[in-house]
Amino acid sequence: MKYTEEHEWLRVEGDLVVVGITEHASEQLGDVVFVELPEAGTEVTKDEEVCVIESVKAASDILAPLDGEIVEVNEPLVDEPGKVNEDPLEGAWFFKMKASDLSQMDDYMDENEYKDFIG
- Residue-wise pLDDT for 6-61, tens only, equals 999 999 999 999 999 999 999 999 999 999 999 999 999 999 999 999 999 999 99
Q: Is 111 domain-assigned?
A: no
Total domain count for the chain? 1
Q: Is 75 domain-assigned?
A: yes
Q: Which domain holds residue 20?
A: 2-105
Give the pTM.
0.95
Residues 66-91 have a mean pLDDT of 96
Percent of the chain with pLDDT over 90: 99
**CA 47 from centre of chain:** 12
Compute the distance between CA of residue 72 and CA of residue 60 in angstroms, rounded to an integer: 21
pLDDT confidence of residue 68: 98
Q: Is 73 domain-assigned?
A: yes
Of 73, 27, 24, nearest to 52 by C-alpha is 73
Compute the distance between CA of residue 68 and CA of residue 53 in angstroms, rounded to an integer: 21
Q: Is 21 domain-assigned?
A: yes
